Amino acid sequence: MITVTGLRKAYGDVVALDGVDLHVGKGEVFGVLGRSGAGKSTLLRCVNLLERPDEGTVTVDGRELTALGAADLRRARQRIGMIHQHFALLSSRTVAGNVAFPLEVMGVGRAARARRVAEMLDLVGLADRAGAYPAQLSGGQKQRVGIARALAAEPSVLLSDEATSALDPATTQSILALLRRLNRELGLTILLITHEMDVIKAVCDSAAIMSDGRITETGRIPDLLATPGSRLAAELFPLPPAEPGIVTVALGGDQTLLSRLARAYDVDVAVVGGAVEQVAGAPAGRLRLRITGAGAADALTHLRERGLLPEEDR
Binding region for ligand ATP (CB under 6 A):
11, 14, 16, 34, 36-42, 195
Q: Do β-strands 268-279 and 189-194 pair in parallel, antiparallel, or remain unpaired? A: unpaired
Least distance from ligand ATP to the Cβ atom of residue 165, Å? 8
Q: Phi and psi for 47 in degrees, rounded to 5? A: -65, -35
Least distance from ligand ATP to the Cβ atom of residue 177, Å? 23
Nearer to ligand ATP, 194 or 248 (CB): 194
Least distance from ligand ATP to the Cβ atom of residue 141, Å? 24
Q: Phi and psi for 305 in degrees, rounded to 5? A: -65, -25
The answer for residues whose C-beta is within 8 angstroms of residue 130's C-beta and 6 or more apart is: 94, 95, 96, 117, 118, 121
Q: Point out which residues pair with 206 in neighbouring strands.
A: 30, 220
Least distance from ligand ATP to the Cβ atom of residue 207, Å? 15
What is the rounded distance in angstroms from the CA atom of residue 234 to the CA atom of residue 239?
7
Nearer to ligand ATP, 41 or 98 (CB): 41
- 34 closest CA partner among 20, 52, 51, 48: 20
Q: Point out which residues pair with 10 in neighbouring strands.
A: 15
Nearer to ligand ATP, 42 or 230 (CB): 42
Least distance from ligand ATP to the Cβ atom of residue 51, Å? 8
Least distance from ligand ATP to the Cβ atom of residue 299, Å? 43
Nearer to ligand ATP, 46 or 117 (CB): 46
Nearer to ligand ATP, 39 or 53 (CB): 39
Between helix 257-265 and helix 296-305 the angle, nearest 10°, is: 140
Nearer to ligand ATP, 17 or 29 (CB): 17
Q: Point out which residues pair with 129 in neighbouring strands.
A: none
DSSP state of 132: -
